[in-house]
Each structure stands twice: as C-alpha cells, then as structure tokens.
Structure 1
Amino acid sequence: MRQTTDEALLRCLRGHPHLLLTWGTDRYVLGAPQLAVEIGELPDAAGMSRTFLPGAALRVARREALWAVSKAADSGRSVVRYGDDSRGRRLSDEPAVLTALVEHVLGEVLRYDEAHDSQVLVSVRTWMERNRRTETAAAALHIRPNTLAYRLRRFDAPTDHDMASTSALAEVWPAIQAAGALGLSD
C-alpha cells in the first residue's frame, strides 16, 4: 500500500491481527483478506497480492501488491486485487520469464535511460496508457508534445520497434507491463 498516512492506517488495523512492514514510503500489511474493506475506506490507493502462503517468497507478494496499487491509482479505485484485471493475467507469474521478456524487448531502452538519466520508457508507457494520445500523455508527463515525440523516436532507435506499427505495439505493451510488474518502469 502506498501514500497512506500511518495514523489512518493504524486506526484501520486496530483490533485486527496483522503485520505491518515499511519499505521506504510504502506500507505492506499482512493480514486477513477482510482487511481490504477497512483499508479500502482510506483516501489513498491500495493494492492486494494473492493470498500469501507460509513459506512463499515475500518478493512475489510485494510485486503483486505494487502491480495492483498501480492499477488502483490509474483507475481511481481504492483497492485492486492482483489478478482482478484480466489483461494482467496474460503475463507469467514467473520473475525469470518476465525478466527475459523485458530484456528482449526493452533492455536497450532501460540501459539508455540509466546511462542518460532519461525518461524514454516512462514516456512510452504513459503514451500507451493514454491510448497513444500525444497531447494527453505530454500533459501527464508535464512536458511539451514535441519532447514526447522526440522520446518516442528515441525509443524506436535502440529497440528497432516502430511505434506506428501494430505489431510493435503488440510486442512492446506486454513488455512494459512486465517491466511494471518487476518494478523497472517507474
């Protein structure tokens, strides 16, 4: 869960068995699924992983919760459970498979962004999330449409994906979702 004041969250959890973990500004609550009702009344977006089983890797639940909270924030809903969005279910749950997809399609752009401290991948993701509407995406990124157009061209060069092509879009979009699931596109 992100961006919830600690006081409001603690009030919500009072009287319910739980474990509250803090990672930077994020808050992770391990507890009964019924807590979603309580947490859903908070003003900020929350994401829920699938049921966390004893012995399961915490990183998987964290990745699922981060995916879900991004969907909640994008949709304006207070709580989203991992897997509620059928589009997200097309991606593998295996981090190795997701990593391979991201490396194959987006690896060069990720390295470019890191080397140049740029926002090419974030720009492409934002543009695609807004149905390829340049003006809307540029406004969301707080940049000029010309800057966004430059970043889109910058994406085309190292990836060899022409973003005007339907086949490129069909390959890039799942890779962007996989990068988001792995926490690589923020």
Structure 2
Amino acid sequence: MPTAHEEFADLRQVMALCGELSSLATADCDLQRIVAVVGERAGVWAAVVDDSLSVLARSAKAPDGDGTRPLGEVLESDPETVAELVAAAARMHRALSLPAAGAAAVSLVVAPILVGDDSVAYLVTAGHDADETGEDARIMVTEHAAMVCAVVLARRRVVAIAAGRARRELFDGLVLVGDRTEADVEAWARHLGIDPGSRHRVLVVAPHAATGPPAPAAVDAVEHMVASRCPDATVVNRGTEVVALVPGDDDTGLARQLIALARVCHDAVTGRFPDVRVRAGLGDAHTGAARISTAYGEARRAVDVSRVLPGFSEVTSFAELGVHRLLAQVRDPAELGGFARDVLGDLIDHDRANGTDYCATLTAYFQQNGSPQRAAALLHTHPNTVAYRIHRAEKIARLDLGSYADRLAAQVALEIVNGLGDNACATS
C-alpha cells in the first residue's frame, strides 16, 4: 500500500509527463515520437493501432527491467479480446482498461484517438501496474497521450483535406471548364504535376450505395488503393468517385493493368462495405493535356453505361461499349425494354416458358457475322442445329433476317436484352 507521500510523488510524475506530452502537440512531431515518450517515461509498451489492430506506431523497446512481451505479441496473442476493448473504447469515447490475468500477463489500456466525433485510431499501452493507483495513472497518461495524437492527426487531416480540395478544383478546371486555350490547359496540367505531352488513360472508380451517396470511407479506401498501386498516376478524390490519370505508352498492357486494379478495388470495397457497389470505367489512350477531358468523359461514360445497362460488368472499358454508347443516352431503361419487347417479346417469352435458348443462338449468330459454322463452334453445337434454331427464332418472333430493317432491329434489341439483364423485358 503506497503512502500518501509516494502517491503524491507518482502524481507529480504523471503531471510532468502530461505536460511533456502537451508540449509535443505544439511541435511538429509525429505519432512515433508520442508513443516513444509514453513508453520511456511511463515504463510501458505503447502503440497506435487502427480498427484492424494494424500498428501505425510503436515504442521502440521494452522498459528496463520489465519482463513483459512486446505489445505486438500481446495484440496477436488474443486479438478478439483486444478488438472488443477497442470497439468498446470507440463506442464510449473514453479510455478503458483490461486488468492483467496472471502474474505473467499484462494489463492493457486503450484510449480512442478522436478527431471530431470519429475514432480515427487508438493508443494502446501494456504493462504491469503495481496497484489501483498505478492503473489509474496509466489510464490518465494514455488518455492524455491519445488527445495529443488526435491533435497531430487532425493537423494532418486538415492539410490532406486542403491539398485534396486544391487538387480536385484543379482537376475539375482541367476537364470540365471549356473555352480555354491549349496553353491554359497545359498550364493547369502542370499545376497538377502532369506532363502536358504525355500519353495517358483515365480510370474512374465510383462507389455508390443503394440509396444516397456512398460512405466517404469507401471512396477514401478506393483512393488509397489506386494511389498506392499507381505511384505515377495523378489521383483525385472527387467525393463520389476517384479519378486516376495514368501515364504510359503501352496502351494494351496499361489497359489490362488498370482493369485488373479496378476489379481489385471492386472486390475490396464490396467486401468491406456490404451496402456499397462499385462501378469503374476506363477511357481510351490519348496524348496531350487537351485530350485529358476527352479521356475523362470516356471513362465517365463507361461508368454511366454500366449503371443504365446492368448486364454489363461492373468494370467497363469505353472501347467495349460499341452501340451501347448510344443506347445509354436513353436514360429510362423502360424505354429500351419496351423496344426490345416490341421486336423480340414473343421469342423472349418462348425461351422463358420452354427453356430454349433462341435469343442466345441469335446473339452468337450475329456476333459471328451470320456464320452458322462459327456460331456453332461458339455454342459447342452442330451448324445444322444453329440453322434450325435461327429458322425457328424467325418464325416465333415474326422476323425476316434477310430484311435489313428486321435484322438491324433484332441486333439492337438483343444488345438491349443482354445489357439490361434477365428481367429487363419482363411482361408488365
């Protein structure tokens, strides 16, 4: 049992440490410096972790004479318990402690690092507390250090927001403002760090929720993934979408890489945010700053087409759109579905009622330029079977594929059916 004198001495040490930490808030320090001071002065392990318990900064070594394990081992030994403590601290917006269980164990203290109302990270300390007074002192120190961490992170956030807003305004001016000279466009490109003469593609990744705008965290996650995987790209977070202007002369190889990156973003975001969907569009390759707006418009059009025509993949290249670039201008999908029903309604109903695949056969037949042999190879059937199905489809749909008008109408209707998906042409 500590004496009153000992308790007073301990309190003075705590106040001195809190004062030292407060002085760091006014200095240009980082999280590593803060946890180092906490670890050295308080005689504990200290670390800043995120929601997934990934360590953002940690104290360098164990306090002298302390037999505790490194905090990384503590976090890994029972991550579920630590995660529950972190979640509770975030929910209650205050520091919480987990007493030691056994002589070899350590007690944990977790304090949320609050920027506004958001718990952006957590300060965790681990060590042996001699008594209840020592535990209370460590809670006080951990909570105060977390507040200092919040000042540092808030300062970073302000700088990042300001830089992001400036970059967004420059990009919007580059691609959305017309009636400017080529020299003006090149000057804006240089402000964004873009070589005005470079060849480039634009990738747009647009998370969206079923109702309302997507969570900012989903857009931020996309921005981080794109920026980390495309270090040479100019990446702009526009609030509802992330735009990447990627330089490169290998048109085909770069396109494949960016399509693969968009799919990685799609899978990662939809896995983390179940209510968010992701659409991505890739523009064609263009050279020169004056063509950046064209490249962005193409990528944006690809995203819009995949939304209007959900039969498309979530990741779409402008080069793949074909006639769908025009079909997507009809903003009401019901209008498109109505046209498809007028042309192929009887055939669609027959396929659904009888389990036939005449629409699929027609699609393959048109894709192979009217060749039953090539369509048969695509469908893994006999050319005579294809010829029979085409003849039956003409009869059921009351079409004459030898007529230019009927043939064109059937091809457009099939593109609509395949683009809108299975329920697009359902009977109303």
For Structure 1 versus Structure 2, the TM-score category normalised by the shorter chain is 0.5 to 0.7
Does residue 80 of structure 1 match 2:80? no
Per chain length, whose mean CA-contact separation is higher, i.e. which structure has more relative contact order (CA < 8 Å, sep 6+)?
1
Residue 103 and residue 169 in structure 1: after superposition, are their counterparts in 2 closer, same or farther (change >3 A)?
same
> Which ranges of structure 1 fall in alignment gaps of 5 or more residues?
1-12, 18-29, 53-58, 73-78
* Higher share in strand: 2
Distance 1:35 1:94 in 2: 31
The TM-score with structure 1 as length reference comes to: 0.63
Distance 2:376 2:331 in 1: 32
Letter in 2 for 1:105: V
Does residue 103 of structure 1 match 2:341? yes
How many residues in Structure 1 have an aligned counterpart in Structure 2?
Answer: 146
Residue 134 and residue 175 in structure 1: after superposition, are their counterparts in 2 closer, same or farther (change >3 A)?
same
Distance 1:64 1:111 in 2: 20
**Match for residue 382 of structure 2?**
144
> Which ranges of structure 2 fall in alignment gaps of 5 or more residues?
1-221, 227-239, 247-254, 267-278, 282-298, 424-428
Alpha-carbon deviation of 1:14? 8.7
Q: State whether residues 48 and 65 of structure 1, in contact with CA within 8 Å, keep that contact through their aligned partners in structure 2.
A: no
Alpha-carbon deviation of 1:118? 0.8
The CA deviation string for residues 75-121 of structure 1, in whole angstroms up to 9 with x for no partner, is xxxx513x864522332232011110111011111110011101100
Alignment of 1:26-37 (within 5 A): 31-34=241-244
Distance 1:62 1:155 in 2: 30
Does residue 40 of structure 1 match 2:259? yes
The one of 325, 329, 332 equivalent to 1:89 is 325
Distance 1:136 1:163 in 2: 18
User: Larger C-alpha radius of gyration, 1 or 2?
Assistant: 2
Distance 1:80 1:131 in 2: 23
**Match for residue 365 of structure 2?**
127
Q: State whether residues 305 and 325 of structure 2, in contact with CA within 8 Å, keep that contact through their aligned partners in structure 1.
A: no
The CA deviation string for residues 144-165 of structure 1, in whole angstroms up to 9 with x for no partner, is 1111111101111121101222
The TM-score with structure 2 as length reference comes to: 0.30
- Identity of matched residues, %: 22
Alpha-carbon deviation of 1:170? 1.4
